[in-house]
Structure 1
Amino acid sequence: MFNYFPKNYMWSSALMLSIMAGGDLGQIDRQLAPLRDTEEADTDAWTRAWDRAGALQVEFAEEDLRRGLPRSAINRFLRASNYYLTGERQTPPGPEKMNSYELARAAFVKAVSVMERPLERVEVESPDGILPGYLIPARDVDGPAPVVVFYNGFDVTKELLYGFIRGEFADRGIACLVIDTPGTGEPLRLRGVPSRPDYEVPTTAIVDYLLTRPDIDPERIGLLDISLGGYYAPRGASFEHRIKAVAAWGGVWDYGALWQHRWDTRSKHTPVPFWQLPWVMGTETMEQALVRVREFRLADAIPHLTQPLLIVHASGDKGIPLPDAEQAFEAAGSTDKQLRVFDGTDGGEEHCNADDPDPARQLIADWFAKRL
């Protein structure tokens, strides 16, 4: 992986994820360069730098609109949202975090409002309250279209999910629903809804919603995840068989054991700050969070998975090691299953292939196109 911050794996990983979602290294470097060689990670300086990068793109986007350049403005607004969210991911809960998040949402909404084929904001009723998402419509499809539901991982949002996938499914005649679920995005940030181990609950609610839509084919619903979503999606599909195919962009096996190891060793290769675990788990202390996250393991669930399964992993993933993906693959009950490992020459070797994501992105989209 390109270690933009030589002394900070977490920050380098976050920067690469921003580029994966459509960020521009030149724009980023103009704001982040002063932080490259700092000995101590200054969270406030990090947040301010990304907020400046976002604000500058909003300013340019508004000028593009005044000049009658909507396509340029859309890209500017999307990058602004990306930059605000990249800073927000490493910012502890509080006013600064909420400010960055709201600026990110506003920039994304502005981008959507200018799109020639705008995304549709949807709100799914669930036992955890409303799960908000954006439906990316399929292109050139007569009648009901197949759809792939795309879940967040541990610390991203539906807006970043859109940056990861853009029109790859739409161009293949597949709709895509990027959605915030328990423990992510709006439910966590605006309503304090933590994650839950039984992810078949939100999965079933989402499928129920999709079945009400005449533009969606109820027999061709797929489920994709990224990072911790490597637990969420296989778990959900294991007990919700109206899902017809599932792909994990990053394999997960025992997330509790993984976090216990990170905490015991105070690992410097953790892609997120340690405070995020209690925040996402909805606990007051790290000790409580480490107990709760023990439930996030696939051993009892994934043997029930019978649908086609794709796991895409990276050979040098420092966030979730390759043996975790291999264990999930071996235990899956699917007969049609594939584990694809990229090694840094044919695709990204780091977490979620963020250092060279397009080969994984194309593989995933093509795999679903053949199975839905």
Structure 2
Amino acid sequence: MNAHEKSEIKPFSVNQDYDFEIRTALGHASAGAGDPGEILAATEQVRKNDHEGWFDAWKALADRTAQIADTAAGRGHRVSAADAYLRASAYYGVAVNALSSLDDTTRLQPTFAEQRKTWDGFIAHTSADVTAIRIPYEDDALPGYWFRGASGATAPTLIAVNGSDGALAGLWASCIEAALARGYNVLAFDGPGQQSQLFEKNIPFRPDWEHVLTPVLDHVLTLDGVDPDKVAVYGISQGGYWVARALAFEHRFAAAITDPGVVDVSTSWTSHLPPSLTKLLDAGDMAKFDKEMAFGLKFSPETARTWAFRARPYGTTGYGETIQAVRTYTMADVAGQITTPLLILSPENEQFWPGQAQQLADLTSSVSTVIPFTAAEGADGHCQPMARALTAQRMFDWLDEKLAG
């Protein structure tokens, strides 16, 4: 996705995508999944479109931080090891995303393996009560992590749904750490097209997320310490679409949060197409569409890299096939079926799905609440990257009160 500079905070990079990644990484620092000084030091010399340099910067930072973690673990410093493993996993996550847009993807799986290895290092050393689990799903299982609330007693539970390219360390920073601090149990997992399912099994996304979230909820309700009347779900980035879509069919959740509201995923793709290409797409002329797209992308290498990165999880080949697949990721026609109390986060200057938070609110007006985030607060842009503590305060205060009620 191409990030647009609209925040009042001075950019950290002249490359808009790099700037957004840096902002996100800095925001993760509020939950320990980054350290601002090392992030800024590692990235400040990367030139505007030096994509190899961008990968190298994050890979080197991740490698160095992983070595710190290994050394601390070897000397019995569990807290230091957990902290460093978490940061390293988050940094490897950015490196994986950097590789996804490069022509040479041979380093992709090995780098993801390092990302998951350091995440597992964090799990092994953190003071949080966490267990790796397998969630029955169709003919296989989804990998998950079950975090128990501090009390160890029956508690409210949050199911955390990641976005299209987020690492588990990022999900920790976005909601898991804040939920645990408030006494919630949390389940995090990799769904179709996400993380291990994509890089290890080559399983693509699917639009009908109710067929994912319902078996996940079924499994959560079998776990010890779960109050079945107080299970909520949170979705970040494209997870906001997946959660909202599932809620139209799955009505057992006590409450839900989308960060932000997403109704139609495809607009972040189609809004950049010229009318002539849109006309070909609508007419079903895939051969001509693919030919003209291929020709146009020869003159726009930055767009070509973004396309490669974003298309990979859909499991498609041709340009037209990809767009047609993404067009099925809409829930406008089923949003009226949502009966779950729904909190919709709505950041000013949302760059990927502008206006869709309010659109989702309009479609679910009987059950939804909108919370705005502004540039004046330093909380604008997709998923409020520089204001995650503020985000946690607002969404968990709402959720606490909703579940108490």
> What residue in structure 1 maps to residue 111 of structure 2?
100
Q: Distance in 1 between matches of 2:238 and 2:341?
A: 19
> Do residues 192 (structure 1) and 199 (structure 2) align?
no
Task: Call closer, same or farther: CA 1:302–1:353 in 2, change over 3 Å.
Answer: same
Picking from 27, 33, 37, the partner of 1:26 is: 37
> Do residues 13 (structure 1) and 20 (structure 2) align?
yes
Picking from 369, 373, 389, the partner of 1:358 is: 389
Normalising by structure 2, we get a TM-score of 0.84
User: Residue 42 of structure 1: CA displacement?
Assistant: 2.7
Q: Distance in 2 between matches of 1:141 and 1:360?
A: 26
Q: Distance in 2 between matches of 1:226 and 1:269?
A: 25
User: Residue 310 of structure 1: CA displacement?
Assistant: 0.3
Task: Call closer, same or farther: CA 1:279–1:120 in 2, change over 3 Å.
Answer: same
**Match runs of 1:98-137 below 5 Å:** 98-127=109-138, 129-137=140-148
* 1:298–1:328 Cα contact (<8 Å) kept: no
> Do residues 157 (structure 1) and 167 (structure 2) align?
yes
**Match runs of 1:40-189 below 5 Å:** 41-92=49-100, 94-127=105-138, 129-142=140-153, 144-189=154-199
> Do residues 246 (structure 1) and 256 (structure 2) align?
yes
* 1:238–1:302 Cα contact (<8 Å) kept: yes
Q: Distance in 2 between matches of 1:74 and 1:269?
A: 36
Q: Distance in 1 between matches of 2:143 and 2:208?
A: 19
> Do residues 307 (structure 1) and 315 (structure 2) align?
no
User: Residue 134 of structure 1: CA displacement?
Assistant: 1.3
What secondary structure sits across from 1:351 in the alignment? coil
Q: Distance in 2 between matches of 1:108 and 1:261?
A: 36
Which deviates the most, 203-212 or 132-141?
A: 132-141
Task: Call closer, same or farther: CA 1:362–1:268 in 2, change over 3 Å.
Answer: farther
* 1:133–1:179 Cα contact (<8 Å) kept: yes
Q: Distance in 1 between matches of 2:139 and 2:239?
A: 18
User: Residue 141 of structure 1: CA displacement?
Assistant: 4.8
User: Residue 264 of structure 1: CA displacement?
Assistant: 4.2
* 2:192–2:206 Cα contact (<8 Å) kept: yes
* 1:278–1:285 Cα contact (<8 Å) kept: no
Q: Distance in 2 between matches of 1:77 and 1:264?
A: 45
Picking from 316, 319, 325, the partner of 1:286 is: 319
Which deviates the most, 48-57 or 210-219?
A: 210-219
Q: What residue identity is the alignment partner of 1:289?
A: T
Q: What residue identity is the alignment partner of 2:377?
A: D
Q: Distance in 1 between matches of 2:39 and 2:363?
A: 41
**Match runs of 1:341-352 below 5 Å:** 341-352=372-383
User: Residue 171 of structure 1: CA displacement?
Assistant: 2.3
Question: Any idea what the Cα deviations from partners look like across 1:108-159, whole Å, max 9, x if unmatched?
Answer: 11111112334211211112732212122112253x3221111111211333
> What residue in structure 1 maps to residue 11 of structure 2?
3
**For structure 2, which runs of at least 5 residues remain unmatched after alignment?**
1-6, 276-296
Task: Call closer, same or farther: CA 1:269–1:141 in 2, change over 3 Å.
Answer: farther
Q: Distance in 2 between matches of 1:189 and 1:347?
A: 34
Q: What residue identity is the alignment partner of 1:130?
A: A
User: Residue 32 of structure 1: CA displacement?
Assistant: 1.8
Instruction: Provide the aligned C-alpha RMSD in A.
Output: 2.2
* 2:155–2:184 Cα contact (<8 Å) kept: yes
Q: Distance in 2 between matches of 1:336 and 1:300?
A: 17
Q: Distance in 2 between matches of 1:170 and 1:65?
A: 24
Q: Distance in 2 between matches of 1:3 and 1:136?
A: 36
Q: Could you say which structure has the greater relative contact order, defined with CA pairs below 8 angstroms and 6 or more residues apart? A: 2
What secondary structure sits across from 1:133 in the alignment? strand
Normalising by structure 1, we get a TM-score of 0.91
Q: Distance in 1 between matches of 2:177 and 2:45?
A: 35
What secondary structure sits across from 1:352 in the alignment? coil
Kindly report structure 1 stretches of 4+ aligned residues shifted beyond 4 Å: 263-270
Q: Distance in 2 between matches of 1:66 and 1:28?
A: 25
Task: Call closer, same or farther: CA 1:64–1:344 in 2, change over 3 Å.
Answer: same
> Do residues 207 (structure 1) and 217 (structure 2) align?
yes
User: Residue 59 of structure 1: CA displacement?
Assistant: 1.5
Q: What residue identity is the alignment partner of 1:70?
A: R
* 2:214–2:250 Cα contact (<8 Å) kept: yes
Q: Distance in 2 between matches of 1:119 and 1:160?
A: 17
Identity of matched residues, %: 24
What secondary structure sits across from 2:344 in the alignment? strand
Q: Distance in 2 between matches of 1:302 and 1:239?
A: 10
Q: What residue identity is the alignment partner of 2:358?
A: E
Task: Call closer, same or farther: CA 1:268–1:170 in 2, change over 3 Å.
Answer: farther
User: Residue 268 of structure 1: CA displacement?
Assistant: 12
What secondary structure sits across from 2:339 in the alignment? coil
* 2:347–2:380 Cα contact (<8 Å) kept: yes
User: Residue 347 of structure 1: CA displacement?
Assistant: 4.9
Q: What residue identity is the alignment partner of 2:207?
A: P
Larger gyration radius, structure 1 or structure 2: 2
Q: Distance in 2 between matches of 1:269 and 1:366?
A: 41
Q: What residue identity is the alignment partner of 1:332?
A: T
Picking from 331, 338, 344, the partner of 2:363 is: 331
Q: Distance in 1 between matches of 2:139 and 2:17?
A: 30
Q: Distance in 2 between matches of 1:198 and 1:66?
A: 45
Q: Distance in 2 between matches of 1:278 and 1:305?
A: 29
**For structure 1, which runs of at least 5 residues remain unmatched after alignment?**
none
